[in-house]
Amino acid sequence: MNGFGDQNKSKNKPIKKNNHSKKQLTSQALKFHAQGKLEEARKCYQYCINQGFEDQRLFYNYGVLLNGLGKLQEAESLYRKAISINPDFVQAYYNLGLILKNLGKLQEAESLYRKAISISPDFAQAYYSLGLILKSLGKLQEAEVSYRSAIEINPNYAEAYSNLGIILKDLGKLQEAELSTRKAIEIKPNYAEAHANLGSILTNQKRLQEAEVSYRSAIEINPNYAEAYSNLGTILKVLGKSKEAELSTCKAIEIKPDFAEAHANLGSILTSQKRLQEAELSTRKAIELNSNYVKAYLNLGEIYRKQKKLQKAELTFLRAIEINPKFGQSYFQLSKLYSKQNEYIKANKQINLAIKYDPNNHLIQGELTRLKLLLSMYKEGKI
């Protein structure tokens, strides 16, 4: 359809803005869009809007088009206009929520999903998306309720079962998490993410051989699944299959070169192989990609300790603490460093901070007991 947005071509026959022409133009815009003629649809939508048409479909579908082109702010404005025309426009609320989530406006996205649900209580996808938002906001129990609501409405909602499994894992309900994730796989056998999620749950249950099988299933379904390769590498390292672990993690990096976690995992594998210079390079790469990656700093500090670069190790552990002052493992590593240098007072201070932030960690508890004994002996002049 030529001439939309170019009124010079219709000087002699101006379009009359009657109901008939409005209907025709609106239908034409929607037809172009449905046919995948996006540029024609865009021009037609814009022309209709410029003519002052107040049809919710125009604004909504133009928003869908622009959203697909990555023009999120413009799409946001159009969805808001559609809602102003029809305050009960469920799909507009939902799509606007998706945009705001992608823009990082999580609280507002949550409010919009809840509005969509209030208008349409059987909207399973809105419950599912609300669950994603609530997890991101750290509201795990509410996310669990939301996913269960989605499943109640749609008992074959594989994605809801899989994400419910993730929430249940985070809540420490590992058996329920396993059952939910297996249900997702039963509904959708080629669901790679569900197989990978099951691998994570089985890892937490220390069922490493089964976890290995799950990650390999995820990779078989999706050969470019970088996260599955990386997690498989971690499993293989623990199982003593160091060379396989290295190959799997390198494959993750090949697929996704900016994957900070994979670089950190590779550094850990190389450290276990005593290839400390290579391990240092990999771990530094992880930090370059994510400057707030606490685990990578702890790994790097441990590499420095093994290289006898004790001052560098201390500074690296302190950097980890600066990033996250409430992470017990950082204090634990620093305490061990001081202890090996016979600085028992410093070590004792750090281990007490470690137990404060991670009171149920058996390794930290054991180190606290050991240091109390060493500190007592030190004060008595016995060491």
User: What's CA 325's distance to the chain center, in Å?
Assistant: 23
Whether residue 247 is contained in a domain is answered as yes
Is 335 in the same domain as 310? no
Domain count, the chain: 2
359, 335: one domain? yes
How many Å apart are CA 227 and CA 260, to the nearest integer? 11
pLDDT digits (tens, 9 = 90+) for 139-149: 999 999 999 99
Polymer length of the chain: 383
The answer on 341 and 281 residing in a single domain is: no
Determine whether 296 is exposed, middle or buried from the number of CB atoms within 10 Å of its CB (0-12, 13-18, 19+). Answer: buried
**Contact of 94 with 129, CB cutoff 8 Å:** yes
CA 157 to CA 313: how far, in whole Å?
A: 48
Residue 315 domain boundaries: 227-323
| pTM given for the model | 0.85
Residue 31 lies in a domain: no
Same domain, yes or no, for 246 and 317? Answer: yes
Residue 261 in domain: yes
Per the structure block, which two tokens stand in for 179?
């059952």
Residues 310 and 351 in one domain: no
In a domain, 121, yes or no: no
Query: Are 336 and 281 part of one and the same domain?
Result: no
pLDDT digits (tens, 9 = 90+) for 152-188: 999 999 999 999 999 999 999 999 999 999 999 999 9
Establish if 331 belongs to a structural domain.
yes
Same domain, residue pair 335 and 266: no
Indicate if 233 and 318 belong to the same structural domain. Answer: yes
CA distances for 136 relative to 110, 151, 162, 178, angstroms: 10, 20, 16, 21
Q: At what angle do helices 226-238 and 208-221 cross, to 10 degrees?
A: 160
pLDDT of 71 reads 94
| Contact between residue 371 and residue 344 where contact means Cβ atoms under 8 Å apart | yes
Rounded distance between C-alpha atoms, residue 31 and residue 57, angstroms: 12
- pLDDT at res. 20: 53
CB 168 within 8 A of CB 177: yes
Identify whether residues 282 and 345 lie together within a single domain. no
272, 343: one domain: no
Matching residue, tokens 């004792």: 348
The CATH number of the domain holding residue 314 is 1.25.40.10
Residue at which a domain ends, from 289, 307, 323: 323
Shared domain for 332 and 343, answered yes or no, is yes
Nearest to 42 by CA among 67, 15, 17, 24: 67
Half-sphere exposure of 76 (CA within 13 A, CB side): 15
Give me the residues of the chain with pLDDT under 70, please.
1-20
Domain shared by 275 and 337, yes or no: no
- 239: in domain: yes
* Environment class of 93 (CB within 10 Å of its CB; exposed 0-12, middle 13-18, buried 19+): buried
Q: Is residue 364 part of a domain?
A: yes
